[in-house]
Amino acid sequence: ITEHNVNRLENQSLNNRNCWGAYVLSCENNEVLKISAKATVIATGGLGQVYLHTTNPTIATGDGFAMAYRAGARIGNMEFIQFHPTSLFMPNGDTEFNSRSFLISEAVRGFGGILRTLDGNPFMQNYDDRKELAPRDIVARAIDHELKKRGEDHVSLDVTHKPKDQIIEHFPHIYETCIKRGIDISKDFIPVVPAAHYACGGVVVDSTGRTSLNGLYACGEVSMTGVHGANRLASNSLLEAVVFSHRVALNICDFLKNYSGQIPSIPEWDDTGTLSTDEKILITHSFKEVKQTMWDYVGIVRSNLRLERAARRMHNIYIETENLYKRTKIFEEILELRNEIACAHMIIKSASLRKESRGLHYTLDYPQSLPDQSVKDTIIQNNNL
């Protein structure tokens, strides 16, 4: 999917813009199709692939966030990215470009697992009295601090002091997955690293899933419903995926019953003057640069200097990618790269606007939270239409 087609009438306010469908890339023949619709739903999932380490599937490249932003929809609270503290770290390719990290459940820490530095020393007691049982954002920040302090790429999770039969009984899938990768967790420490897990912000919607663009709806992780605030509780993603999708369907049914207008004429996709590219190595390198930049500077712990550096790097990648996009026939990788860059921009901008630490957004320059009565959602919008 590329960009939603937006009515661009002169003197029309942004709130009165309409979505009339989407241009869709067919992966079978690499052709762009025009699909016109009176109502369009974005349900594209998350954006975890923007980061070097993520529990999200490879398709979670933030497509829906980016499309809605480019079309001018209101986007909210993109700074609140939830990181799971422990995903399996594999140095031999499992966590390279466009892959998914295997999640090591928090139940392993609840079972008595101990987080250790690579030299074997436990460290959670230095960050919270609850040690490994502290909330996931505190544990993730502690691991992040140890990694940056020591210049290492992972820490260890230790359950070797637990009986092997109990480990297998409680965590059969984790045990089998690690065995396949040459790790016997009853004898060996588990190499772990935090990973991007869930986006609590997204396309701003009302209680029926309507966005700020007429005819455009969003549900699931791509939407900002408000149910998560600054930090998602476990399983509350079901609210966005199940409850709000049902509300979207009901509202669309009512909308279509009362709609008497016609879909305006939408032009076919025009790629005149574009050529196929033999320079996909540029795309691959840019993907890696986006992920590494976001991981290093816009991850679990942020600062003004880190965000400023990330913004500069991302702007350079954006210019390079747009120049390539304008002269190249559409293909899947360049679309996903553009979308990841757009999501990175939104996260960086939103994080820069929030002058406090709250929930999943922690910044060294503003470590305290503002009084609740002065707190607002971070809302951004692309007005360059």
Contact by Cβ (8 Å): 338, 321? yes
Q: To 10 degrees, the CA torsion angle through 286, 193, 305, 123?
A: -160
d(CA 118, CA 73): 45
Q: What are phi and psi of 81, to 5 degrees?
A: -105, 120
Q: Is 115 helix (H, G, I), strand (E, B) or coil?
A: strand
Cα separations in angstroms, 189 against 42, 212, 283: 41, 49, 36
Contact by Cβ (8 Å): 189, 156? yes
d(CA 136, CA 120): 21
Cα separations in angstroms, 121 against 118, 184, 290, 294, 309: 7, 20, 33, 28, 33
Which of 17, 70, 136, 232 is an active site residue?
136
d(CA 245, CA 238): 10
Give residue 154's Cα distance to chain centre. Answer: 21
d(CA 140, CA 124): 10
Place of tokens 């932003």: 69
Q: Which residues pair with 204 in a beta bridge?
A: 224
| Radius of gyration for the alpha carbons in the chain, expressed in angstroms and rounded | 22
Contact by Cβ (8 Å): 65, 47? yes
Is 136 catalytic? The answer is yes
Active site residues: 136
